[in-house]
Structure 1
């Protein structure tokens, strides 16, 4: 049960309690045990408070174990190729230098730089994925302010791609960690530009109230995502075959999923979209219209 629902809290109570029963039910996954003869309002409050703390610690441990597995996968697979390339190129450079072929040395240095950049990008994206969260407390901001920050961050990419973006804030405000949501939207819009298929990117960013919080949709006119991949793309290092020639690590959407999860929300690729891609995510905190001031 703990593996299936690491944040669940389970209590057991029986009419005849003893230490052996308590030991067996806790080993089976219960958070606590209490005989019926000891039940009281105060005892229940204490058990629930302690149980929630234990469940939260168990869930965090579960998440950390998953992250460690992720790190090991990267070290074994994704970093092996660029590091092997760097070693090979350094050997080649040494040979060419001894032969006096400086032109070939310069060419090999350029190739080595590409491998170093690829390794550096992978490390940066992995660090962002492992810990994408801002510090501090959530704050209430307008969706328009999130969009303003996003336009500033994306200014260069938007200018270079001539992307056309329609922004619809819905006049909403939301309780969130603003830098995280900006990063999430930056990843989605960056993908929309990257996978435009050679066309001028046309992107719509639409916010709307969705109980119990807010939903934001990012739709584009790009190459789209095949139906069979629409759930897998949010897993770490999952990339489409037809997008494999594009630079990237396969961590962008996985990071988006972590940020949405932190905001008690979900993220998904719309299954009804037939042209381009539409990705929606929720922030399951209260959303409300911005109050007009006189």
Structure 2
């Protein structure tokens, strides 16, 4: 075990380098080659090839035994690495599940005291609103606005925590229909902002239709919200990339500084003051979670003042789903 090279013994009966050879010679072993499996710092064991006759071993014999030891060490290490990796994945999944449960429980339990705060604020406004001076009215307005924003954040956190647990099974989804539904849902916002939304032909993908509607509603809503001074212009395009589709939503809005483009997908990470733009800062985090559940990616390409393009990858409809749809 202390040797970092193969040990060759041509005759154990005359061997003087080692003690304890009686166990081998009592079993009629007279010669052999042994070598370490692994390294001297982290050995897995030994492998030996013996002969019942004294033997002169060639360099090829030694190389062969050494090669077998190397193959065994690699196989053991790969198996150990795979076991460690599987355990790590299992631990991460368990930790993620616990975090989801905590987020759900915390946000759910916060709803009742927040509802009480909102109720009493409304009661104060109704009963004593006429008696408040200008400062009092402003303070009350801040409190009501804070409670409303907290309610929106709790709702967003609940939505975020339910992406994995409340999602539907994947099925073929026609993104043309999804876009039509989203445009209808945002019809008032589109008309009020005089937004112009254009789209290329959109594909069928494999996914959760309700969750994909959430993604595209959030992206279109953001494109309208952050349009700047002029009327919003939004264009949706799609391109095939192997087994996936890349769908992009481009706008002519205020853009995003490159140093902030990763941060916008984090929970509660809004880039703008609440007075400038309303929102909880959780919408894009939910989008990222949904797209990751679909095995895809989401990213943004943007420059300040030059608009933004948000892109997502989604799996194309498989042959199995196509056959099912035909049937």
Q: Give the drift of 1:243.
A: 7.1
Distance 2:312 2:155 in 1: 24
Within 5 Å, which residues of 2 pair with 1:122-271? Answer: 122-133=153-164, 134-170=166-202, 172-241=203-272, 245-270=276-301
Asked which structure has the greater RCO (Cα within 8 Å, sep 6+), the reply is 1
Count how many residue pairs are aligned between Structure 1 and Structure 2: 241
Q: Give the drift of 1:67.
A: 4.8
Question: Hey, what does 2:5 align to over in structure 1?
Answer: none
Which stretch shows the higher mean deviation, 242-251 or 199-208? 242-251
Q: Is the Cα–Cα contact under 8 Å of residues 173 and 288 in structure 1 kept in the other structure? A: no
Indicate how the Cα distance of structure 1 residues 65 and 245 shifts in structure 2: closer, same or farther if over 3 A, else same. Answer: farther
RMSD: 4.3
Give CA deviations for 1:197-233 in whole Å, capped at 9, x if unaligned: 1221100111221223111101111110011111111
TM-score (norm 1): 0.66
Give CA deviations for 1:232-272 in whole Å, capped at 9, x if unaligned: 11111212146762111111111111011001111111157
Q: Give the drift of 1:64.
A: 3.5
Distance 1:152 1:56 in 2: 41
Which stretch shows the higher mean deviation, 257-266 or 271-280? 271-280
Indicate how the Cα distance of structure 1 residues 109 and 278 shifts in structure 2: closer, same or farther if over 3 A, else same. Answer: same
TM-score (norm 2): 0.60
Q: Is the Cα–Cα contact under 8 Å of residues 132 and 255 in structure 1 kept in the other structure? A: yes
Structure 2 gaps of 5+ residues are 1-42, 47-71
Structure 1 gaps of 5+ residues are 1-13, 18-35
Question: Hey, what does 1:286 align to over in structure 2?
Answer: 316
Q: Give the drift of 1:68.
A: 7.2
Distance 2:85 2:168 in 1: 22
Question: Hey, what does 2:29 align to over in structure 1?
Answer: none
Larger Rg: 2
Give CA deviations for 1:26-85 in whole Å, capped at 9, x if unaligned: xxxxxxxxxx6xx9xxxx9xxx8x99975653332232455578789999xxx9xxx7xx
Indicate how the Cα distance of structure 1 residues 206 and 223 shifts in structure 2: closer, same or farther if over 3 A, else same. Answer: same
Distance 2:163 2:246 in 1: 20
Q: Is the Cα–Cα contact under 8 Å of residues 175 and 286 in structure 1 kept in the other structure? A: yes
Distance 1:243 1:199 in 2: 21
Q: Is the Cα–Cα contact under 8 Å of residues 104 and 162 in structure 2 kept in the other structure? A: no
